[in-house]
Structures are given as C-alpha cells and as structure tokens.
C-alpha cells in the first residue's frame, strides 16, 4: 500500500515525478511548493529535502528527494508489472539508468544554467547564455543520435529514462524556444510522449493558481529585462 505525498511545482523536475506517478496509476496527494515564493527553503520542507528544492516525496514516513531518486524509488517499489521500467540485472535496465543519469547529471544542470543566464540573472552575460545554450543543444544532439537507433532511450520500451529527458526537452522548446527541426528523431519522440494521457495529466500537477503559460511569461519577461542590460562580459 502506498501513502504518497508529492511536494512539487510546475517545472521539468517536478513533472518528472508527477508523470511517473500517473503512469503507474498510483494514488497520491500533490502539495504545491511555490518556488516563486521560496517555500522550498522553509524549515518544514528542508526536513523532507535538505537541499531545499522540488520535487520531494513522502511515502508514509519514508522521505525521498532528488527527482531521479523519486523515479527509481517508485519503479523499484511499485512497478512490479514493469510498465515503465526494466528489471534490474538486464542490459536494458543498465541503459535505462545510464539515460536517467545523463539527464540528472547533464541535461538538467546544463539547461537549468541556460535558464538562469537567459531568464533570472541580475546581469547580462552573453558568454553564459551562449555557453549553456550550446551545451544544452549538444546534449539534444546526443539524444537525437540515440533515438535514431531505437524508439526509446533504453530500447523498445518507454521508461523513466524517457520521462526524465522528455520534460526537459519539452521545457527547452517552450521556454528557450529551441527549434527541434534539426533533431527530427527527438521531435518525433517528444510528440509521441506528449500525447500519452498520463503525461498530459502529470503536466498539470500541482495546482499553482497560475497557468503554465503565465509562469512561462514571467520567465520570458526576465529575458526581456536581461537583454535590455549591457553585456557585462570582459573583452
Ligand atoms: N537535482 C535536483 C534539482 C532540483 C531543482 O533544481 N529543482 C528546481 C525546480 S526545477 C528548484 O527547486 N528550484 C528552486 C531553487 O533552486 O531554490 C532534482 O533533480 O530533483
């Protein structure tokens, strides 16, 4: 039996967890942790995630933090039918973990920095913007080369590795306005995953009081502000 509360916000890391829960058909409560109001730094939340970031989860008295760790916990414990994961000990399972770690250690951190330099920075650094956007696009190229070879990242089955990378690729097209025409296999994969009912549902969690579009517009206003500043890079 599960007794799950997901602490989350409408972001690529948050929706990795809600999509996974929806795909597994698990009952759960979603608590909104509004990162635009710094709720993630409050003492009560730091007891669930000492790192002060969303998402985090309680399953009964068990805390789980880091989105990749939440996904692994959920499939280890609840995906007994292997709906969105491979069995440990199989070559496909190792691939699944590799692509999940690719997102956790590569795509997520690099695209987050692209977001920081593009939307949130107090100064304008064209070097920072370019460096992290180029690195993010390079990583999209790595996904593209894998998806030319197999329908999903870890083989013939849609898994948590796909969910993890999907929310970031979707975020890149919506926010950084990446054009996926240079990555046709990635675009096809994104379009297909986007249509899954569990994905559609997971992308609406949690209730924030603002639409995703409104949240994105807040960020894009940040970009206008940054582009209005003088570039501060040293020559
Ligand atoms: N490696 C962490 C990253 C979590 C993370 O950066 N979450 C962002 C939202 S996507 C956040 O909470 N930002 C607020 C902050 O940095 O204080 C994970 O995958 O869970």
Which domains, from first to last, does the chain contain? 4-84 (3.40.30.10), 91-201 (1.20.1050.10)
Tokens of 171: 């975020």
Residue with tokens 């997520």: 108
What are the two backbone dihedrals, phi and then psi, of residue 55, each rounded to the nearest 5 degrees?
-90, 165
Confidence of residue 94 (pLDDT cuts 50, 70, 90): very high
Residues 103-120: what's their mean pLDDT?
Answer: 98
Tokens of 86: 């491979």
Cα radius of gyration (the chain)? 18
Confidence of residue 196 (pLDDT cuts 50, 70, 90): very high
pLDDT in tens, 127-184: 999 999 999 999 999 999 999 999 999 999 999 999 999 999 999 999 999 999 999 9
Regarding the beta carbon of 40 and ligand 1, being less than 6 Å apart is answered yes
Please report which helix (H) or strand (E) contains residue 52, including its range. none
Integer CA distances (angstroms), 199 to 22, 40, 85, 194, 196, in order: 7, 24, 16, 6, 5
**pLDDT value of position 9:** 97
Name, in order, each residue with C-beta under 8 angstroms of 213's C-beta and a sequence gap of 6 or more.
Answer: none
Q: How far is the CA of 172 from the centre of ligand 1 (A)?
A: 16
> Over the chain, what is the mean pLDDT?
97
Shortest-distance Cα residue to atom 5 of ligand 1: 53
Query: How many angstroms separate the CA atoms of 109 and 136, rounded?
Result: 9
Atom of ligand 1 nearest to the CA of 41: 17
Query: How many angstroms separate the CA atoms of 19 and 7, rounded?
Result: 14
**pLDDT value of position 1:** 74
Shortest-distance Cα residue to atom 13 of ligand 1: 53
pLDDT in tens, 17-57: 999 999 999 999 999 999 999 999 999 999 999 999 999 99
Helix axis angle for 91-102 and 160-174, nearest 10°, is 30
Regarding the beta carbon of 190 and ligand 1, being less than 6 Å apart is answered no
**pLDDT value of position 235:** 58
Q: How far is the CA of 148 from the centre of ligand 1 (A)?
A: 30
């Amino acid at each position: 039996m599960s007794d799950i509360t997901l602490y989350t916000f409408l972001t690529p890391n948050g929706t990795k967890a809600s999509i996974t829960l929806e795909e597994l058909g698990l009952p759960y409560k979603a608590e909104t942790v509004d990162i635009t109001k710094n709720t993630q730094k409050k003492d009560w939340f730091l007891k669930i995630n000492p790192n002060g970031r969303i998402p985090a989860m309680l399953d009964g008295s068990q805390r789980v933090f880091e989105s990749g760790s939440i996904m692994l916990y959920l499939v280890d414990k609840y995906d007994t039918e292997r709906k969105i994961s491979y069995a440990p000990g199989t070559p496909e399972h190792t691939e699944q973990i590799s692509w999940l770690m690719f997102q956790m250690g590569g795509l997520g951190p690099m695209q987050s920095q692209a977001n920081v330099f593009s939307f949130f920075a107090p100064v304008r650094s064209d070097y920072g913007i370019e460096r992290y956007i180029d690195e993010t696009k390079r990583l999209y190229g790595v996904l593209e080369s894998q998806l030319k070879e197999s329908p999903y990242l870890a083989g013939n089955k849609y898994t948590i590795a796909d969910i993890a990378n999907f929310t970031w690729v979707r975020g890149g097209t919506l926010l950084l306005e990446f054009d996926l025409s240079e990555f046709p296999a990635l675009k096809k994969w994104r379009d297909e995953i986007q249509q899954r009912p569990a994905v559609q549902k997971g992308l609406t969690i949690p209730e924030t009081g603002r639409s995703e579009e409104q949240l994105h517009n807040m960020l894009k206003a940040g970009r206008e502000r940054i582009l209005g500043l003088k570039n501060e890079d040293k020559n």
